[in-house]
Structure 1
Amino acid sequence: MPTDFSDRLRATPAKPGVYIMRGRSGAVLYVGKAAKLRNRLRSYFAKKAKHPFKIREMVKRVAEFEYIVAESEQEALLLECNLIKQNKPPYNARLKDDKSYPFIKVDLTEDFPQVYITRTVKRDGSRYFGPFASASSVRRTLALLKKLFPYRSCTKTITGNDPRPCLDYYISRCVGPCIGAVDKEQYREVIEQVFLFLDGKADRILKSLESRMMEASESLEFERAATLRDQIQAIEKVHEGQKVLHLSSETLDLIALASDGDEAWMEVFFVRQGKLVGRDHFIMTSTKDDTTGEILSAFVKQFYEVNPYVPPRILVQDELVDTEAIETWLSEKRRSRVRIYMPQRGEKRRLMRMVAENASEGMEQRRVQAAAEEGALGQAMEELQEALNLPTLPRRMECYDISNTQGSNPVGSMVVFDEGKPKSSDYRKFQIKGVDGVDDYSMMREMLTRRFRRLADPKSQVAEVDDGDRSEGKGEAWQQAPDLVLIDGGKGHLGAALQVFLELGITSIPLASLAKENEELFVPQTPEPIVLPRTSPALFLVQRLRDEAHRFAITYHRQRRSKKSTTSALDHVPGIGPKRRQMLIRQFGSVQGVREATLEDVAAVPGMTLTLASKVKEWL
């Protein structure tokens, strides 16, 4: 233990709070919370302490620690969640890619709300449902909702004065607010049905729809009654597929896990009104040596910290390490009591065993799939090494692509595959600055020079950049030499890259290009292309790498182009500052939307006046 820690530990208060362990570089190694900071920190550095292997290794690396005193253990718990999410400490069990989990969002500040996917939860008056494990699971849910409930799927500004509706209206997939077929209150009834369905309260929807169907039938509105009948039948079909449990009308979540090495598969079953309405799974990382209770505690804190909804009961596979503090925190969030416990008998115990079995099965499938992918990727890299006559296996591959529109807003991308898999933390994007007009070869030369100049000469200084360009970022991404550099393009692009390598004196990094038209590989000093079999794993690998570079480049190009378009159109309108500009874009979706809106609609935007609206319309 460092000698200076003893005095600091004695001075540490015996109060609730969060502690942060840092390594020699200052990087955060571990974040934890404690009811009494002094006692918890002393336990780490006690000479005869018996810690799990992971904690012993962490303590060896600690060069500094700090703490934040909190008013309560619940406040410390919330702060701990935020710090783990922000810093991703390597010794904390945490949700894999927790920032990217998607939600369903309904913006209730709109007169005619849309239902869509988002990855950001804000306190903005919207309702959120989730998190979901993947975007595909959200899309499946949204597709189901659209079949059941006729809310709008368009993004247009609703005035009620459109001359004709879209196809959705004619096939009863939208109630037609765009043509004034319904008012705000009637449309809100549809959205309330969506809420009830997502909350697992389909029975209430069915009762309401059946009542409305009878009213329509009695009023001789047979077409409307038939539409409601079809909607009832569709909801009943889904409702019947939800497993009925012997849990009365209880609402609860059940959580179990299966761990394997440094990962844990978290299985969650959602029971609403006594019915199993859904299930999902999540992956926790850095779980090696952690007990089941510790992993469950970490998951429950991180999962419900981002989840807008907390059920009154949470059933877990094992006792949490800090149940009381988590219950208090979640009760405050729910605004009514939340209980967390391990079921001991009966239907809940049986259901928990089923959740645990699903977790074990999921973990086993993940293990088998990982082994299969590893074998296939290994074969692909070996084939590529042989085809290109590479000196080593291409474990780290970098691919470069250029994107522009007739020479405007030119950008470049660098993507990295490590062991055959994307390593997004090493991706870089480039603003092309020294090339005018349409000249892809010069753009490629500029990008590669900026990337490899520092690798060829670590002491070289490259000018700082701004506006999202991460090409000059620091870190190990710049220090690692790739085993293969792949260029998206043909012989000309390869020649431009080779010129940069020769100028920088780089001779040890293999270079190749992939031409899209015939999927041919070119390498320097070989006039004929290398054609891999269409079913070759090596070809699939380089295609994935090339396609990822293209996706990354074109996404950045569109962002730059969109930003420039917005800036050029609205930035110079007299009296329109950043806030008003943001409100206009938020209300109408784009500059084109502002252009198409009526003068009255623009004037009705918060912060706008009729005079300012006139200036905007004149300017556009």
Structure 2
Amino acid sequence: MADPSSYRPKPGQIPDSPGVYRFRDEHGRVIYVGKAKSLRQRLSSYFQDLAGLHPRTRTMVTTAASVEWTVVSTEVEALQLEYSWIKEYDPRFNVKYRDDKSYPSLAVTMGEEFPRVQVMRGPKKKGVRYFGPYAHAWAIRETVDLMLRVFPVRTCSAGVFKRSAQIGRPCLLGYIGKCSAPCVGRVSAEEHRELAEEFCDFMAGRTGAYLRRLEQRMHEAAEEMEYEKAGRLRDDIEALRRALEKNAVVLADATDADLIAVAEDELEAAVQIFHVRGGRVRGQRGWVTDKVEAVDTAGLVEHALQQLYGEERGDAVPKEVLVPALPEPVEPVAQWLGERRGSRVDLRIPQRGDKKDLMATVQRNAQQALVLHKTKRASDLTTRSRALEEIAEALELDSAPLRIECFDISHLQGQDVVASMVVFEDGLARKSEYRRFQIKSFEGQDDVRSMHEVIGRRFRRYLQEQQKAGEWSEENAVEATEEENGRPEEPGAADARTEDGRPKRFAYPPQLVVVDGGQPQVAAARRALDELGVEDVAVCGLAKRLEEVWLPGEDDPVVLPRTSEGLYLLQRVRDEAHRFAIAYQRSKRTKTLKAGPLDEVPGLGETRKKALLKHFGSVKRLRAATVEQICETPGIGRKTAETIAAALAAAAPPAPAVNTATGEIMEEAGE
């Protein structure tokens, strides 16, 4: 625990201007990002008597080891920079919303030559127009199925589209009138794009004018006695109205708005968002967060707005955003939203009428989401905490190991030796920090030497980053007076970045290293750490046979009860490292191993190889076949059959390969 006075800036160093600040821990990792109208006033508030600070703020300032800041011109710039840094550094003491589920959206790939309508999940992509998100994927598909009658836009995958273009025949949707079949040239690229744009306009809420145009065309067709055309238009109008009926009218004035509600307690908060377009609820989503920083409802709303609109532009930001509390100050946030939309955005609290009633509905949804989340998570939090406490007690650690790294070695008969590193924080996998290693210094079935090498490489990198961070801190102290004059700080080694700008993940150590193996592997890991002078990292090993926990220098293992939550967590960590190593080793093997003896046959392509394997079932049966039997394979003539038979007769059958990491016998290549 650090004393905040040890890194408190000197009087006069902090400028009295807008800016963004970062707190770092002793390893140089950014743990908190904040913005302020006056950096001097805000940062001074962190260095008062600890007893007067909020408990969460007190934990943050005692965890930190340094603070730095960047001066900006306006509060809007501070808001933008704060959002960028939170996304980049993922600070542990900042509010981080996480979706309580993966919501599907209706997407139109306007960036393609022939736009495609489809259901999409995950992060948004450039050149794609999104509508939603929706609660269920089937609701999107039902809506699209009704609208394809009027807007026959392509919905097929790239492979189906290419195949139809090659054979000159459309898919089933093209025959039944639910696709305009641009793949076979029924419509041009320009005509198909116009259909896609009309589809997007209708989904964006501009429905009334389009329906009126269809009704006018229907009446004109009827007057000209084109009854079949009038009938089709009548059915199109009915289909569109059925699609609209799926979204109830909640605001009579055809409003485009997002409504955000927050339900919170002392530890957690749930946010619910209703997306209203054209007066109808077009989508809904929810987030849940741990309140790891001292933040009120207005602060939660500000973070939610950053999360919701940080990557959005144009019409994705609505004209009106209704919230339960306004950020303080509200003007920079409203200006930031207006810049992203390209026009003014009304950010306010609804006071009366339909909008206030709808906000109450959104609030009830947020309360239900918080109750459901706490019900699901209660037992999980308790179990993880108990598991970490049991591990600390069994290994005689000073505190619970909040960060655990596990290493595993995998190879195939001593070839393609690889290693994996997986990371668990607070008992949960942190997959963004997984790492893979190639062991190149030697070949052979020596897991002990491999473990020594990979542990050494990992912590040697950590020490290098620590040294760079120290050098940067000295330079930063010299430049502190220049910072006072408003010069933005220059990025340094303490940022711990790779060449492409991503944060490095070796810059801070774990509390516990787990190796997959017994006493020899543990001794090798401990020896690697001792050689580097790393003494504050505990090491243990988990042997597969009896699930025994081995400690360095101990003749007897630590035996945890089979019902122990600590043992279960160690098994999960070890199994995840094993899975990750095997996946990497197999991916390398597929790139290096050949398909089999058939590769040595001159003039034999992939199509005829597949035909031979399909006909005979395996290379073994093919090797035993006569020339006449090989000729029975479609596409294989007698001369080719004789060449195949001679090549297989000359090639000796390979011995079965055993994967030492799994103990399984690998099948003969090509069988």
CA contact 2:267–2:291 (8 Å) conserved in 1? yes
Q: Equivalent residues in 2 for 1:161-560 (5 A)?
A: 162-203=167-208, 206-207=211-212, 233-308=238-313, 309-371=316-378, 415=422, 421-425=428-432, 427-431=434-438, 433=440, 450-451=450-451, 474=506, 480-482=512-514, 485=516, 501=521, 504=524, 509-512=541-544, 550=579, 554=583
Q: Which residue identity is paired with 1:427?
A: Y
CA contact 1:94–1:299 (8 Å) conserved in 2? no
SS at match of 1:66: strand
SS at match of 2:12: helix
**CA displacement at 1:241 relative to structure 2:** 2.3
SS at match of 2:62: helix
**CA displacement at 1:477 relative to structure 2:** 7.3
- Residue by residue over 1:82-108, the C-alpha shift from the partner in whole angstroms, topping out at 9 and shown as x without a partner, is 01111122222123389x998766443
CA contact 1:20–1:67 (8 Å) conserved in 2? yes
Q: Distance in 1 between matches of 2:173 and 2:416?
A: 37
Q: Which residue identity is paired with 1:334?
A: R
Q: Which residue identity is paired with 2:130?
A: F
Share of identical aligned residues, percent? 28
- Residue by residue over 1:528-566, the C-alpha shift from the partner in whole angstroms, topping out at 9 and shown as x without a partner, is xxxxxxxxxx999989996996588658966997999xx
- Residue by residue over 1:182-240, the C-alpha shift from the partner in whole angstroms, topping out at 9 and shown as x without a partner, is 111221133224423542444455556666777888796959975x7666555433421
Give 5+ residue unaligned stretches, structure 2: 465-497, 527-538, 550-566, 594-671
Instruction: Give the structure-2-normalised TM-score.
Output: 0.60
Query: More deviation in 162-171 or 246-255?
Result: 162-171
Q: Match of 1:30?
A: 32
Task: Summarize the Cα distance change of 1:561–1:293 in structure 2 as closer, same or farther, 3 Å threshold.
Answer: farther
Q: Which residue identity is paired with 2:373?
A: R
Instruction: Give the structure-1-normalised TM-score.
Output: 0.65
Task: Summarize the Cα distance change of 1:155–1:547 in structure 2 as closer, same or farther, 3 Å threshold.
Answer: farther
- Residue by residue over 1:333-362, the C-alpha shift from the partner in whole angstroms, topping out at 9 and shown as x without a partner, is 212111111112222222111111110101
- Residue by residue over 1:426-452, the C-alpha shift from the partner in whole angstroms, topping out at 9 and shown as x without a partner, is 53334465799xxxxx6xx57786456
Q: Distance in 2 between matches of 1:448 and 1:202?
A: 69
Q: Distance in 2 between matches of 1:345 and 1:79?
A: 36
**CA displacement at 1:399 relative to structure 2:** 9.0
Q: Match of 1:129?
A: 130
Task: Summarize the Cα distance change of 1:540–1:83 in structure 2 as closer, same or farther, 3 Å threshold.
Answer: closer
Q: Distance in 2 between matches of 1:20 and 1:178?
A: 54
Q: Distance in 2 between matches of 1:115 and 1:96?
A: 27
Q: Which residue identity is paired with 2:289?
A: M
Of 89, 94, 100, which residue of structure 2 is paired with 1:92? 94
CA contact 1:264–1:285 (8 Å) conserved in 2? yes
Q: Which residue identity is paired with 1:305?
A: G
SS at match of 1:67: strand
- Residue by residue over 1:235-272, the C-alpha shift from the partner in whole angstroms, topping out at 9 and shown as x without a partner, is 43342121211441111111011224543211001111
Task: Summarize the Cα distance change of 1:448–1:240 in structure 2 as closer, same or farther, 3 Å threshold.
Answer: farther
SS at match of 1:236: helix
Q: Match of 2:5?
A: 2
**CA displacement at 1:325 relative to structure 2:** 0.7
Q: Match of 1:491?
A: none
Q: Which has the larger radius of gyration?
A: 2
Are positions 1:45 and 2:47 aligned together?
yes
Q: Distance in 2 between matches of 1:240 and 1:551?
A: 48
Q: Which residue identity is paired with 2:68?
A: E
**CA displacement at 1:321 relative to structure 2:** 2.1
Tell which has more relative contact order, 1 or 2 (C-alpha 8 A, sep 6+): 2
Task: Summarize the Cα distance change of 1:62–1:511 in structure 2 as closer, same or farther, 3 Å threshold.
Answer: closer
Task: Summarize the Cα distance change of 1:52–1:522 in structure 2 as closer, same or farther, 3 Å threshold.
Answer: closer
Q: Which residue identity is paired with 1:266?
A: V
SS at match of 1:113: coil
SS at match of 1:10: coil
Q: Distance in 1 between matches of 2:49 and 2:499?
A: 50
**CA displacement at 1:378 relative to structure 2:** 10
Query: More deviation in 343-352 or 150-159?
Result: 150-159
How many residue pairs get aligned? The number is 510
CA contact 1:255–1:355 (8 Å) conserved in 2? yes
CA contact 2:418–2:581 (8 Å) conserved in 1? no
Task: Summarize the Cα distance change of 1:327–1:476 in structure 2 as closer, same or farther, 3 Å threshold.
Answer: closer
Task: Summarize the Cα distance change of 1:303–1:502 in structure 2 as closer, same or farther, 3 Å threshold.
Answer: closer
SS at match of 2:356: helix
Q: Which residue identity is paired with 2:366?
A: A
Query: More deviation in 287-296 or 47-56?
Result: 47-56
Q: Distance in 2 between matches of 1:39 and 1:62?
A: 19
Q: Which residue identity is paired with 1:151?
A: R
- Residue by residue over 1:459-514, the C-alpha shift from the partner in whole angstroms, topping out at 9 and shown as x without a partner, is 8899x9x999x9x96367766244x95xxxxxxxxxxx67974984999633338x
- Residue by residue over 1:106-155, the C-alpha shift from the partner in whole angstroms, topping out at 9 and shown as x without a partner, is 44343212356475557x5x14437959xx96797478546643323222
Q: Which residue identity is paired with 1:2?
A: S
Q: Match of 2:654?
A: none
SS at match of 1:243: coil
- Residue by residue over 1:590-620, the C-alpha shift from the partner in whole angstroms, topping out at 9 and shown as x without a partner, is xxxxxxxxxxxxxxxxxxxxxxxxxxxxxxx
Task: Summarize the Cα distance change of 1:523–1:131 in structure 2 as closer, same or farther, 3 Å threshold.
Answer: farther
- Please give the root-mean-square deviation of Cα atoms over the aligned residues, in Å: 5.4
Task: Summarize the Cα distance change of 1:235–1:44 in structure 2 as closer, same or farther, 3 Å threshold.
Answer: same
CA contact 2:33–2:82 (8 Å) conserved in 1? yes
SS at match of 2:270: strand
SS at match of 2:350: coil
Task: Summarize the Cα distance change of 1:188–1:43 in structure 2 as closer, same or farther, 3 Å threshold.
Answer: same
Q: Which residue identity is paired with 2:436?
A: K
